[in-house]
Amino acid sequence: MSNVTKLEIRVGGQDGRILTLKGRVAWMVDRLIKAGPRGTTSIESPAPRVSHYVFKARQAGLDIVTVDEAHAGAFSGLHGRYILRSAVEVLSMEEAA
């Protein structure tokens, strides 16, 4: 599991803007980058408030879509799959020791 605590990325190509993300938002964006076009869910990337971290990443200017998926089991229903649509380049990353 990734322990990213700070992530600096360029959004939108060579002339794009630079974002510095910290804490769980940095962790979530790292997970989204690594997931690629398949995206990730709170089941695959468990954390206390995944949807909030995605919300904060969107507020920072990232294009992240949510696709509803059905799941079975005792508590069947829908869950969201989050997919990063913004073109990003990782400039630097800090991880917890």
| Residue 66 backbone dihedrals phi, psi, to 5 degrees | -115, 125
Closest CA to 9 of 59, 43, 52, 60: 60
The rounded percent of the chain whose pLDDT value lies above 90 is 78
Q: Which residues pair with residue 20 across a beta bridge?
A: 8
Would you say how long the chain is, in residues? Answer: 97
Average pLDDT of span 90-94: 97
Q: Is the predicted pLDDT of residue 1 greater than 70, yes or no?
A: no
Domain that holds residue 38: 4-95
Average per-residue pLDDT for the chain = 94
Q: What is the pTM of this model?
A: 0.90
Confidence check: pLDDT of 28 > 60: yes
Tally of domains within the chain? 1
C-alpha closest to that of 9 among 52, 48, 17: 17
